[in-house]
Structure 1
Amino acid sequence: MGPNTTTAPDTVGETAAPARRSRVYPWIVFALTFGLLLSDYMSRQVLSAVFPLLKTEWALSDSQLASLSSVVALMVGLLTLPLSLLADRWGRVKSLLLMAVLWSAATLLCALATNYEQMLGARFLVGVGEAAYGSVGIAVVLSVFAPRVHSALSGAFMGGGSFGSVIGVALGGVIAVNLGWRWSFAAMAVFGLILVALFRALVSERKLTDAAVLDDPADTPTGFRAPLSSLFSTPAVVLAYIGGGLQMFTAGVLLAWLPSFFNRSYGLAPDKAGAMASIFVLAVGSGMVVCGIITDRVSRDDPTKKWTTAVVYGVLSLVFLGAGFQMPSGSTQLILIGIGAFFSAGSSGPIAAMVANLTHSSVRASAFGTLTLANNLLGLALGPFVVGLLADRFGLVTALQIAPLIYVVAIVALILGKRAYPAGRRKLAALTAIS
């Protein structure tokens, strides 16, 4: 199929939007939803900043400290899809508000915890509250913007996790040193609850419906619900999930293991190693935003080019990270790793846009929940774990040299997905025609 065949369904909605649709309101929705995403990751990652204080005060082992962090990721991995399905049916705005209230209240409980068991229970609730926020939040954001900017918005939204993580660790550490670790959690909780109040006052299902930009003719609010099987009904969308998950593998490795790498290979103290690693974490998040913007401009006249850009970002990260970790310690190595980190998750925005283009709006939060599940199971959770196993056997540097090779599998999945994309669009058109 040529470009004209695949472009029409992606752009038809841009001319169907109401003439009086506000240009400002979508950006208010984005700002508030993005702000809550920052709160999500600030509440999740502030724990890392107070690890040394908790270890000393409660005499915790490293495994106990790790469990306080991993329980959140575990809940996110297990609950993202079912809670996304529930949000599609119960209402996305109500769901987002409930999630944010829960994780903020649970973060406040962390501040009040007096022992390991209470902290573990509070962190469990943080994970439950945060489980589906990313998938439902991005579905809300994309619903009020034209498809031509979906890659940029998806990249910016997903990059918010990196920014929120850095803010949570940096701000949490400053507050902990000056006021005590309990105030670190309390500050994150208060920030989240303030944003909840603003979101509740300014965003509603009715306002979102009025501001909606329709991706497809049948995305009108007719009450039609696409079957859940449509989440996996085409090879293209399945390959997007797989490619998306695998391209997060190395990004997850960088987020988890760069502090240890700088500690062991460069002899930096833990605090300085963490500060150095935060620069590369910011590079990962910035790459998501910039690569999304580039993708939208390149693919404006041909949506299939989103697949091409995703492949290019994977190739660039494979080359630069592969070369960087082979180099001896020094400025050249840091530059190469920095460039590779910039592109390491650059495919996130294009892939999220592809998932949006291949699924009906009535199950889109569920589709993003499925993508989030793939990102966690195949990438963010699997990557650090596999590198840990390899590091025990071969050493951390060797493990980091091996990790970028996973991009080869991701690239193959994305190339196959591009070939299957026109058929996937036709199948979606047939589904919307019966609604």
Structure 2
Amino acid sequence: MAFHHATVGDCADVAVSVPRRFAWVVFALTFGLLISDYMSRQVLNAVFPLLKAEWALSDAQLGMLSSIVSVMVGLLTIPLSLLADRWGRVKSLVLMAMFWSLATLGCAIAENFNQMFVARFLVGAGEAAYGSVGIAVVLSVFPKHMRASLSGAFMAGSMFGSVLGMALGGVIAAHLGWRVAFTSMALFGMCLAVVYLIVVRERRITAQRPCSSQGQAAAETIKRPLATLFASRSVICAYIGNGLQLFVVGSVLAWFPSYLNRYYHMNTDKAGMLSALIVLIGGGGMILCGMLSDRLCRKAPDRKITLAIAYCLISGLLLAVAFHLPPGALQLTLISMGMLVASGTCGPAGAMVANLTHPSVHATAFAVLALANNILGLAPGPLVTGMLADAVSLDHAFQIIPLMAVASALVFWYGKHHYHRDIGKLRSPGSAPAEGAAS
């Protein structure tokens, strides 16, 4: 059986005919490389104590080795995604995976801080655009009504990869040394990249059937595909809304181990294990909420935005109530429930971005979404929470942070009121996408 689908913004009769089994193979391999991406990125955190002891590094130097990857991702994600859209997404993905895997191998043979810093710099350069290009490839081989499920599931790979990188890296380093931990991550990535190159071919995911005359007319109006990245209010709301919601998610994930240490008096290892469980719950929530969005909203796509609003408000309420409770089983249960829903906006937001931008620039569009997620959420969230903790204590900071979910809900609500009109402008033969920006 093959999937036959048209992409919103594309002409109605343009379709990519992809066998169902091959589509899932593409998803599995692309998802696997995303896990490799985050395993290579996060294995460093597991070997911090060993590097600190062997090279006499300061905490600031260790922090630099970690943060340089995020810096490179932030700087390069959009230009590299745009290049991949033009050069070829499959070739770009394989090249990225080989690049970050070789750079991770460079980490394994580093002899001092400077060499490790250069290797981590290269890891960040290789990983910069993988998430945005990878999800564009995945969405290109599935029907559009599965976009929320696929977006949520794919983005969850970052959480699963982070947990695996830290857990496996720590175990391998404890038994075989930190150099073997880096080497293992590098070899996994290189092997998977070779399989990807053999199995996934550009022509198999881009073959199209001719358009009808009406669809052709609609397609011809989009003479500037890049304009669709910011041509509508609703797509801008998708960027901003999801970024603000991830402010809450990033804050809790970053500071929850410290919260458990301070208020539950847990040792570092136990706090880390429980925090890893919360990360896995958040990753599972991305998948489940995305699937729920697609299942309930197949005949009314704008309902996905309504669900995104609900995810924001439910998670904000659960987390706010939880952090007002005293430490205990009830608090941990509510925090887990809140984190299960908190990341649920990723699926609907991904579907909105895909629906409201031209298919030829989907990798770049998801790069913009990733940049918004980091600039508005994942980067400032932990910082602001730390500043609030210094001012009023960490438990009181966690009582304030869930209010950001309300701001996210308001942004999605504003986008919902413009969604149908923006979709109409993107598909209408009589109006170019750029006009939507001025309306």
TM superposition score normalised by structure 1: 0.93
**1:261 equivalenced with 2:274 (yes/no):** no
Rounded Cα–Cα distance in structure 1 between residues aligned with 2:179 and 2:86? 37
Cα pair distance change 1:220/1:196, threshold 3 Å: farther
**8 Å Cα contact 2:42/2:166 also seen in 1:** yes
- What amino acid sits opposite 2:255 in the alignment? W
**Higher mean C-alpha deviation, range 264-273 or range 177-186:** 264-273
> Residues 10 and 230 (structure 1 numbering): CA distance in 2 closer, same or farther, change over 3 Å?
closer
| Corresponding residue number in structure 1 for 2:307 | 309
CA shift in 2, pair 1:434/1:328, >3 Å: closer
What do residues 376-410 of structure 1 show as CA deviations (whole Å, max 9, x unaligned)?
11011111111111112222111111111111111
Residue 401 of structure 2 is matched in structure 1 by 403
Residue number among 235, 238, 244 corresponding to 2:236 in the alignment: 238
Match of 2:250 in 1: 252
**Contact 1:99 1:130 survives alignment (8 Å):** yes
Map 1:80-159; keep pairs closer than 5 Å.
80-159=77-156
1:115-138 per-residue CA deviation (whole Å, 9 max, x = no partner) reads: 111111111111111111111100
Whole-angstrom distance in 2 between the partners of 1:321 and 1:329:
13
The answer to whether the Cα contact below 8 Å between 1:218 and 1:432 also exists between their aligned partners in 2 is no
Q: Secondary structure at the match of 1:347?
A: helix
CA contact (8 A) 1:249 1:383 kept: yes
Whether 2:82 is the aligned partner of 1:70: answer no
Matches of 2:300 and 2:340, distance apart in 1: 25
Q: 1:264 to 1:431 in 2, by over 3 A?
A: farther
AA in 2 matched with 1:53: L
Query: Which residue identity lines up with residue 283 of structure 1 in the other structure?
Result: I
1:240-288 alpha-carbon deviations (Å, 9 max, x no partner): 1100111111111122111111111111111111111000000110000
Cα distance, 1:13 vs structure 2: 7.7
8 Å Cα contact 1:226-1:362 kept in structure 2: no
Write the distance in 2 (CA, Å) between the matches of 1:133 and 1:149. Answer: 21
Q: Equivalents in 2 of 1:225, 1:115: separation in Å? A: 51
The 8 Å contact of residues 76 and 128 in structure 2, kept in 1 or not, is answered as: yes
Q: Give runs of aligned pairs for residues 411-422 of structure 1, distance below 5 A.
A: 411-422=409-420
Residues 1:61 and 2:58 aligned together: yes
Q: 2:295 aligns with which of 289, 294, 297?
A: 297
Question: CA 1:244 to 1:297, structure 2 compared with 1: closer, same or farther past 3 Å?
Answer: same
Aligned residue runs from structure 1 range 148-297, under 5 A: 148-210=145-207, 217=215, 226-297=224-295
Shift in alpha-carbon separation, 1:167–1:56, aligned structure 2, 3 A? same
Report the Cα distance in structure 1 between the residues aligned to 2:403 and 2:228, rounded to whole angstroms: 31
- Structure 2 stretches of 5 or more lacking a match? 1-5, 434-439
Give the alignment's TM-score, normalised by structure 2: 0.92
Instruction: Give the count of matched residue pairs.
Output: 426
The CA distance in 2 between the partners of 1:38 and 1:240, in whole Å, is 25
5+ residue gaps in structure 1? Answer: 1-7
With over 3 angstroms needed to count, the CA separation of the structure-2 counterparts of 1:421 and 1:36, relative to structure 1, is same
Question: Which amino acid counterpart does residue 210 of structure 1 have in structure 2?
Answer: A
Counterparts of 2:209 and 2:346 in 1: how far apart (Å)?
23
In the alignment, what sits opposite 2:423? 425
Identity across the alignment (%): 53
Structure-to-structure mapping, 1:36-47, within 5 angstroms: 36-47=33-44
Match of 1:3 in 2: none
Indicate if the aligned counterparts of 2:14 and 2:209 stay in contact, CA closer than 8 A. Answer: no
Question: In structure 1, what is the Cα distance between the partners aligned to 2:95 and 2:430?
Answer: 31
1:313/1:13 Cα in 2 relative to 1: closer, same or farther (>3 Å)?
farther
* 1:341 to 2:331 alignment: no
* Cα 1:164/1:217, change in 2 over 3 Å: farther
- Alpha-carbon contact 1:144-1:211 (below 8 Å) kept: no
Q: 2-side partners of 1:181 and 1:101: how far apart? A: 21
